[in-house]
Structure 1
Amino acid sequence: MSGGESAAASVIRVEHVTRTLEGEVPVTLVEDVNLEIERGEFVCVMGPSGSGKSSLLYLLGLLDMPTRGRIWIEGVDTTGFDDDQLTDFRLAKLGYVFQFHFLLAEFSALDNVSLPIRKRGRMPQDAAPERAAQLLDRLGLEGQHHKRPSQLSGGQRQRVAIARALANDPLVILADEPTGNLDSASSANVRDILRNLTRELNKTVVAVTHDAHFASAADRRIGIVDGRIDLSWRPG
């Protein structure tokens, strides 16, 4: 089987990926990672602080590019993509949820979710608010559409961020410590939402977390230590 054919069998395929920051003393963030993730999987990446978890997630999300190695997404080799190709591909295929939601403070929840739809430009501009409203309602935010982030609770803001991540119906959702700033009840809510995206919508979810309870809901847990995959690693 050729590399391209095997890559097409997985939503995400990573081969020998290394990310090194050049400098007087080079720093390797991720080293020789090989990984496959299937459609509809809920995968949690775990490891000690500074182990390379977020660095790996940023590579999977094409927010950073490897120094060496290759990353396929839905069978597409992303090696050598220019900035415009990366932007288009991210908008079409990938959604992001971060620990700090990064909602635009001056925009309503509805406008925050509408923004990536308008930016991609694949549906009529006047259809974006309707799509955004449907997503917000699906996530239990009826009646909150016109509130700004400062008027919402932490859990509500993170649900708006998840709705924004879903705006363009992406193949993959990448979440970096999505519950790291939430109380236990809100954390459980966000965990269940992400898990249900795989069950109900067949999305692939890859989440970095330090929370063993959150990770217990995943289909698979991947340990990373010193930038390398370590399948024997367990949270202390």
Structure 2
Amino acid sequence: MPQANSAPELTLRDRIEAWKAKQDQDEFLAIINDVCNDVVSTIRDGSGAERGQLATDLAVLRKIQPLPFPGTDDFLHVLQLMLRNQPGMARQAAQLRAELPEAFAVTLTTMERLIAGETVPEEPEGTPAAAMLPVEQPDPVEVLEQVAPAFEQVTLMLHDPQFGSRAMVAQYVEKMATQATEGETAGSPWLDAAAGLRALAALLRDETPNVEMLTPTYRKLVEEARG
């Protein structure tokens, strides 16, 4: 028997509304994991009304834009189609699935196996599947704005022999490049910026950087600095 002062359990809708106010990424990951579990159990054992209610709750979550991870909206849409299971929806779901990021596609395959009653190895404790979803990358323009002053200063230095110690500045630029890569994943514009900064440091050391490995934006900046 529950205690009189115990708080009522939060519904999925309650959690969505709470997340909407705070936009906490960890809580969003927890919601996505629980949604996946709820969809599996509801499709396997739930009534039509329960399926419809869960699909409606997912519609509420989809209305919050932008969602934290690329592909999340389409993933949730696929789950809605699976829950409603109306004529033509399977085809629509298949079309959406073809464009999903790999992590979401793998999650759907795992869910389908669970719905079919198969035994699926559990994820290691503390590493929910949603934690491996691709994180939305920073805006390349904002990254460029943060590193542009370094390119401007080095350009001035390279054209003015009296402008400070090149060796010291090269070390500083290398440090900037190292810091730019910390915690970044493939596809991050910070990795492109770091490559540009390393090429800039090479110029300060009178070396010839391989600009062909740079993105067009940073290749242009390095070539302008070299003059």
TM-score interval (norm. to shorter): under 0.3
Compute the TM-score of the two structures, normalised by the length of structure 1. 0.21
- Greater share of residues in strand: 1
- Greater share of residues in helix: 2
Compute the TM-score of the two structures, normalised by the length of structure 2. 0.22
Query: Highest relative contact order (Cα 8 Å, sep 6+), 1 or 2?
Result: 1
